[in-house]
Structure 1
Amino acid sequence: MSTSTFVGFAALLVALFVWFRKPSKASSSTPLPPGPKPLPVLGNVRDLTAKELWLPATQWGKDFGDVVYLHVFGQGLVFLNSPEAVFDLLDKRGSIYSDKPQLIMICDLCGCKNMVAFTGYNEQSKRHRKLMHQAFAPKVINTYHPLMISETHDFLRRLIADPSGYMAHTRRYSGGLTLSVVYGYEAAPHDDKFLAMAEETVDLLANRIASGGGIWPVDILPFLQYLPLWAPGAGFLRNAAKWKATLEECVEKPYEYLKESMKSGNYTQSFCSMLLDENKATEEFEFDLKWVANSMYASSMDTVITTIAHFLLAMMHNPEALAKAQKEIDTVVGSDRLPDFNDRSSLPYVDAIFSETLRWGVPVPLNLPHRLMEDDVYNGKFIPKGSLVFGNIWAIVRDERIYPKASEFIPERFLEEVDEATARRRDPRNYVFGFGRRQCPGNYLVESSIWLLMASMLATLKISKPVDEEGNVIEPKVEFKNPVFRIPTPFKCDIRPRSEAVLNVIRQNTA
């Protein structure tokens, strides 16, 4: 039997199973949410795209409403397109909407099932969140401030020495900071083994393992996982084995470094060392700690890179906002030092730029899916058990009813006097870090580090569109190819120090 015939026959079997399976009792009397018209048996295969899925999903929201339903071979996909829908379901009904899909390719074959983002809603996920809360609660974040300040100053030094490498410097900053915070490890200035390992893992997760929304043929046709490695069409199995080995090495090696450092007594206090000091190191505890630690630095790198890239784009396109922020910093901080966390409450416009960058740049436009654990009815519509539920963050932060002129970068929108309910509804932090019981537990750390980085860049840099040899402005051209993070492709940007005085301050802080 040829490969194409074999796969076609398998697809037919699955289609027949979906076609004849008995529907839920609730579905016979309560309609599903509206959505694009599906094909018989195949469902909405043609409506899905691996690239920028949040864009068609947002159009579906405009066409069909806050809750949109699609299916692929009977697998329900639900898109929530408003604050009310995400809070009502993913937050208020979190007890049944907090599970994660246990996809065969990602979880079993590639070995991601123990990462925080992919664990089911069970005792393990509750242990993970407890560990992260111990180390990353708001009251603990200030203990990491010295590390953030040190890494920020190093970033500025590297950026001024090589402005064209801004993406690499941001990646180095994010990875170096997270390795310091999580493992107490100080990355080497060049070619660091753990940084390289982390970058490879992040690339695998975002651009290969979870590409196309993370749904692979084997997730629809589970028997494909038993194909012999030599069989035609089994390339995904061979890749999965290699990716799993890479991921597990990334989990084990930094943790081994930490344990050896603690054994010798020569170590820096960190997330892992603090928890090892405070808890009995059972086999289960250490297993959880290793995977939580890995999840932290695997998940934070692209969030920081995406946000800073959009910050640079925003400053190039909105020089008046850059000038206004720099005037505020000059007035409050002066020119003899760099901003620090004590200045934050006195820099409202800088904070508004931070908030608007989170909204306008939205690092993860389509929240990683939750899995519904039992049948539910919402606003008279039936949502079947097992549906994958996506919070459409892009649709929310581009909603003109919440953010007038939503496509424009307008920091002033966050300085308007509004009531508490409106302020909460507008705050992008309530969306960009996820929802309910699966909200990113490291959001306070990520927010603090990005704020300091932005404030320091505003204080020290001229950021503008580049010009060619004839003095013509070069408009930045970007694409978004990553299926999970909205990372722009590298673009040209003119970055230089504001003054000689700024250079002296940076040298003093990075000597």
Structure 2
Amino acid sequence: MQVNFNCDSPPSPSLHRTRPRPSATMAISAQTAIDAVLFVVAAFLAWKLWNRPGMSLPPGPKGYPLIGNLLEFPTESPWLRFAEWGKQWGGIMSVTVLGQKFVILNDPQIAIDLLEKRGLTYADRPELPMATLCGWDRAMSSARFGPRIREYRKLIGRVIGTKGAMVKFYPAEDFQATMFLKRVLDHPDMLDAATRKTAGAMILDITYGYKIVEEGSDPLVDLADTALAQFSIATTTGAFLVDLLPWLKYVPSWMPGANFKRIAAKYKKTCDEIGEIPLAWVKEQMANGAARPSYASDLLKDKDISDERMYNIKWSAMSFYGAGADTTVSVVYAYFLAATLYPEVQAKAHAEIDRVVGKDRFPTFEDRDKLPYVEAVCKELLRWLPIVPLAVPHRSLRHDVYEGYAIPEGTLVIANVWKFLHDPDEYINPSEFNPDRFMGPNPAQDPKTYCFGFGRRVCPGTHLADVSVWINVAKAIAAFQVSPSIGPDGKPILPTPEIAGGVICRPKPFKCDVVPRTPQIPKMVADYLAVVDAN
């Protein structure tokens, strides 16, 4: 059947009616609606993509709207809380505080995978407003990743960057370790002060060619010790609200609740002084022709030093102190705590020293390879009470994915070093001080793998700290008998092995009795120092 569309009769008026054209307003409204729909669809797809299996943040406690995990974020001994969380959430977990994402690593292999193998991605440091207010963003440990941090590492590395580079400092290290014995013999009840003075003397000598004042306190040692204590407080995770609410740094110091601004002003004055005073002393010595060889004097010999170069010399020199001094203070002090609590360890170390070195001299670096138990004692000291139980946070420079978990750009990644070094699967009875775990054909993991940082932010003073710790501990073993103090009731006072909070931690103060192992120890110290003075 054929249908004829060419009919002669006109079409029905209703079929021939013209549709009115839409107005501009109607067109805009339609386009806006289309854009809104597309935006919603895109947002939904992005949300689904981000939250699909394999692209979510690592697991962790749920938290609350807006504030996230603020109320449960630990400010005291956070490494212990993070370790507890790790039992529930695993080796990699996350929390969010006021929008800031934290990824916490309770598994050492994950820390190696991220912070070592992907070191460039995690080479940045967080911008800690409190530390910046205090001036510590100029120090290497806190500086953001970039050309300046690379220049710092280059300058420091040329002096103490390798084991071989440390050999030229062996005589100075040996001298200061013997001076430590003298300081303890003179004031056995001031053990903490002796360790701090010895570590400060060593670093100030290497960095600035400065010889400390032996009688009483030394102004530069006291200044540096104060500065590092303040640094530890200013950089402690969660210690100041301004680190969680950065806009608070703009409030005036007179406002209620702005006490952190007044603290920061005090701390910045100390930070400025530790950077400027010893460097000014070196310049004065050089002008008088009396400067001793040192890191700073070597660099200041260059002519036409630019302002930027001078800045890098000043603050990299200041970073030297933190690179080695605090490790030595904490670990050597911890030795006396361990000797107090574990007399069998002390006896075994004494026996090795007597067998290899004898009782007529003190151990030297030439003896190190022949003293494996003393070496094990030093490793166990680093593990038992780690000086940096939480590695200084790293900041991700770009979006990353690990084992299906998303780690967004700007995430703060914290390695729980305390957990690594107290993992019972690696270190049996981890709370016990037991150097034997590092002896024999299958020793436990060397704690130096973790306790000096990771990747491109590893401590450049690792080798300096290593030799300083070893020579001071070895000589202390050779020279002293350590035992618990006796209380009024006639019973031994056994201290509790605890560390004081902060980024850089030390054993809490304790009491012990320290006496020479043999009557000739004071004479051996005096004879050694007499030979040094004669030369």
TM-score normalised by L of structure 1 = 0.90
**Pairwise CA distance, 1:279:** 8.6
Aligned 8 A contact 1:94 1:437 in 2: yes
Following the alignment from structure 2 to structure 1, what is the Cα–Cα distance between the partners of residues 276 and 340? 41
- Rg (Cα) greater in structure: 2
Superposition RMSD on alpha carbons, in Å? Answer: 2.1
Q: Could you say what secondary structure the match of 1:408 adopts?
A: coil
Structure 1 466/229 Cα, relative in aligned 2: closer, same or farther at 3 Å?
Answer: closer
Instruction: Deviation per CA, 1:451-484: give whole Å up to 9, x if none.
Output: 0000001001001112235532111145533222
Following the alignment from structure 2 to structure 1, what is the Cα–Cα distance between the partners of residues 351 and 302? 45
**Farther off after superposition, 198-207 or 218-227:** 218-227
Aligned 8 A contact 2:390 2:416 in 1: yes
- In the alignment, what sits opposite 1:122? 146
Structure 1 362/148 Cα, relative in aligned 2: closer, same or farther at 3 Å?
Answer: same
Aligned 8 A contact 1:464 1:493 in 2: yes
Aligned 8 A contact 1:478 1:490 in 2: no
* 1:162 is aligned to 2:187: yes
* 1:202 is aligned to 2:221: no
**Pairwise CA distance, 1:123:** 0.6
Q: Could you say what secondary structure the match of 1:489 adopts?
A: coil
Aligned 8 A contact 1:218 1:224 in 2: yes
- In the alignment, what sits opposite 2:175? 150
- In the alignment, what sits opposite 1:389? 413
- Structure 1 residue ranges (4+ consecutive) displaced by more than 4 angstroms after TM superposition: 22-26, 277-280
Choose from 285, 291, 294 the match for 1:270: 294
**Pairwise CA distance, 1:24:** 8.1
Flag the structure with higher helix content. 1
Question: What is the one-letter code of the residue matched to 2:462?
Answer: N
Following the alignment from structure 1 to structure 2, what is the Cα–Cα distance between the partners of residues 314 and 152? 19
**Pairwise CA distance, 1:23:** 8.2
**Pairwise CA distance, 1:112:** 1.5
- In the alignment, what sits opposite 2:464? 445
Structure 1 182/468 Cα, relative in aligned 2: closer, same or farther at 3 Å?
Answer: same
Aligned 8 A contact 1:328 1:347 in 2: yes
Choose from 423, 434, 440 the match for 1:399: 423
**Pairwise CA distance, 1:392:** 0.7
Following the alignment from structure 1 to structure 2, what is the Cα–Cα distance between the partners of residues 412 and 307? 18
Following the alignment from structure 1 to structure 2, what is the Cα–Cα distance between the partners of residues 292 and 415? 37
TM-score normalised by L of structure 2 = 0.86
Q: How do 1:37-436 residues align onto structure 2 when only pairs under 5 Å count?
A: 37-107=62-132, 109-137=133-161, 138-189=163-214, 190-207=216-233, 209-211=234-236, 213=237, 216-277=240-301, 281-418=305-442, 426-436=445-455
Instruction: Deviation per CA, 1:416-440: give whole Å up to 9, x if none.
Output: 213xxxx6x7011110111111000
Following the alignment from structure 1 to structure 2, what is the Cα–Cα distance between the partners of residues 204 and 502? 37
Q: Could you say what secondary structure the match of 1:113 adopts?
A: helix
**Pairwise CA distance, 1:98:** 0.8
- In the alignment, what sits opposite 2:506? 487
- In the alignment, what sits opposite 2:50? 27
Aligned 8 A contact 1:325 1:349 in 2: yes
Aligned 8 A contact 2:136 2:231 in 1: no
Give unmatched runs, 5+ long, in structure 1.
1-19
Instruction: Deviation per CA, 1:106-157: give whole Å up to 9, x if none.
Output: 12x2211111011111011111111111011222111111111111111111
Q: Could you say what secondary structure the match of 2:121 adopts?
A: helix
Instruction: Deviation per CA, 1:280-324: give whole Å up to 9, x if none.
Output: 733222211110111121453332222122211211222111111
- In the alignment, what sits opposite 2:7? none
Following the alignment from structure 1 to structure 2, what is the Cα–Cα distance between the partners of residues 251 and 194? 11
Structure 1 239/471 Cα, relative in aligned 2: closer, same or farther at 3 Å?
Answer: closer
Q: Could you say what secondary structure the match of 2:397 adopts?
A: coil
Question: What is the one-letter code of the residue matched to 1:304?
Answer: T
* 1:503 is aligned to 2:522: yes
Following the alignment from structure 1 to structure 2, what is the Cα–Cα distance between the partners of residues 386 and 436? 17
**Farther off after superposition, 262-271 or 215-224:** 215-224
**Pairwise CA distance, 1:373:** 0.9
